[in-house]
Amino acid sequence: MIEEGDKIAVGVSSGKDSLALLAAMAKLKTFYPKNFTLCAITVDMQFGKKPGDFSQIKKLCDELGIEYTVKLTRLAELIFEERKETNPCSLCSKMRRGILNNTAKELGCNKLALGHHMDDIAETFIMNLFNGASLDCFMPVTYLSNADITLIRPMIYARESDCARVARNENLPVMKSLCPEDSNTEREEVKQFLSSLEKKYGNVREKILLAMQKKQINGY
């Protein structure tokens, strides 16, 4: 995932997962055998038509010696007011990812690190299975030729609970999402579904990842 001379942008949403990734990448840099540089990017959707307060994340980046960029957008207004999307998550994700890609390139980065973890893998796999009848998931490493940037997901073997523990132990400045759809999404329903299955079948999320590895689905 990481090669000599990489400049890696970390997408930081202000949630526990992306902040745990940022902290982990900063620590990794101190002992990883190949030299790489980091920067952090937050896409500000401007809920309420005003910039968000990311001063605590800026403070963390300053402490870690990481360049921090907040990209102001009109995404909240566009998605929820102008388009009035009934299922906004897919469009929002695509638009935020495009902005992250473009901003990373503007900053001279060749890679973009995202905070997806094992729970995200299992949830995405189930959503693709149920919605599209496909055995599919995002890849650990993906080169986007249109954007000329490589996406990496360094935390695919970490659990969401690991990210929460890191956020607590490192006192990371986690902020509650202002999105009106927060905790009211299909992904949240799948999360609860998998949790219910784990009461009977044990580590369902780990078993899904293991099954993907056995069948070599999307580079796992």
CA distances from 215 to 56, 121, 211 (A): 43, 15, 6
The pTM score is 0.94
**Whether residue 164 has pLDDT greater than 80:** yes
* Tens digit of each residue's pLDDT (9 = 90 or more) over 53-109: 999 999 999 999 999 999 999 999 999 989 888 888 888 999 999 999 999 999 999
Within its chain, how far is the Cα of 89 from the centroid?
Answer: 14
Segment 108-148, tens digit of pLDDT: 999 999 999 999 999 999 999 999 999 999 999 999 999 99
Instruction: State residue 156 phi and psi, 5-degree precision.
Output: -65, -20
Q: Which two tokens stand for residue 48?
A: 């309420």
* pLDDT on residue 199: 94
Which of 7, 68, 4, 28 minimizes the C-alpha distance to 158? 28
Helix or strand (DSSP H, E) at 132: helix 118-132
Which residue ranges form the domains of the chain, and what is each CATH number? 6-219 (3.40.50.620)
